[in-house]
Amino acid sequence: MLSKDSKIYVAGHRGLVGSAIWNNLKSRGYQNLIGRSHRELDLTDQVAVKRFFDEERPDAVVLAAAFVGGIMANSLYRADFIMMNMKIQCNVISESYAHGVKKLLFLGSTCIYPKNAPQPMKEDCLLTSPLEYTNEEYAIAKIAGLKMCESYNLQYGTNYIAVMPTNLYGPNDNFHLENSHVMPAMMRKVYLAKLIHDGDWQAVRRDLNQRPVEGVNGSASQDEILSVLQHYGISDNQVTLWGTGSPLREFLWSEDMADASVHILLNVNFSDIIGIEKYSSVHFGAATDGAVDRNHSAGRGGAIPALGEIRNCHINVGTGKELTIRELSELVVKTVGFQGTVIFDASKPDGTMRKLIDVSKLHSLGWTHKVEIEDGVRKLFEWYQDSLVQ
């Protein structure tokens, strides 16, 4: 186990999950944390990443940094999504190995699973059928990342673990209408429709000053504001959402994701995941905390045949619970106090009808979620309102 003075590098420490992991570690007494913004350290720059590891030499690494975006961005910038993420992963994981990092936690996404995977999706359904085309490049990059962790463990006896979270929401979420995910987008739309109906233009302008929409901020005229918001289905006491409202989705509070990540970082080893106790003695030898025993494993060149095929060692992280988009909208409406109308435009696409993950492996490793969706939606709305007065 990592000691309280272990140096832990959190890559992506300002993002939705990275910031929550940083705060969770702090709350547990881990004060020797390192973070670098993108401006301070470009993780796609191999030379810069090597220099960083040379100087800092962290004991553990949390790789929560990624090049991300919505459906439109994934479709337009396919080369960027695969190349940027592959570079980040290759640079951080290879330098972690080169510098003897004891523990590495890699964060992926449940978009790694096949488009038509059996529900709920177990870890073993990885690579069993085609991916969803719209985010194929991002998914392939994340699959490569978890395979890097798995392969380094099998070849070099490292202790690198990959976790695959479901849909996340929480503090520092993205509420920009052009590229936000379903829950924050829905919440902001309902809130703005209520404000317009209430005639609270001061609050509307404050919202747009904080997060402009297509360049339109709070200094624009009422007509300009109403016009741009109408484009996103927001009008006086009415909100239009895409699809039928029938797709099922699973959501996990980001601070729960952080708690699960830190629990795994501190308490779970690769040998625990594959369920083979002798793996630790065969691979790690006398090394502690899963540190690389280079003399023992150097040049071995592959998995030990006696252990058989070892794959799908990643861990799903979620609640194992789901609700429809319509049910989510009803929850948001109640939380915001909206008295208007929500319309579902069935001419627009629904997306994948169901994306539920199996979390039995996670539960067997000693962690279950704490924040239920009803409390989470309330907490997110409170955070959003607070963000408007900062």
Handedness of CA 12, 16, 17, 20 (dihedral sign): positive
Q: Which of 138, 160, 169, 191 is catalytic?
A: 138
The Cα–Cα gap between 75 and 78 comes to: 6
Neighbours of 372 (CB within 10 A): 13
Per DSSP, the residues of 200-221 read: -HHHHHHHHHHS-BTTB-TTS-
The Cα–Cα gap between 89 and 92 comes to: 5
The Cα–Cα gap between 107 and 317 comes to: 10
Eight-state DSSP code of residue 281:
I
299: left (phi over 0), alpha (psi -120 to 50) or beta: left
Scanning 121-221, the segments in alpha helix (DSSP H) are: 136-156, 182-198, 201-210
The Cα–Cα gap between 57 and 34 comes to: 10
172: left (phi over 0), alpha (psi -120 to 50) or beta: left
**What is the layout of strands, in order, in the sheet containing 234-235?**
234-235, 238-242, 341-345
Query: Can you say how many angstroms the Cα of residue 76 is from the centroid of all Cα atoms in its chain?
Result: 21
138 given a catalytic annotation? yes
Count of CA atoms in the C-beta half-sphere (13 A) of 38: 10
Just list the catalytic residues: 138
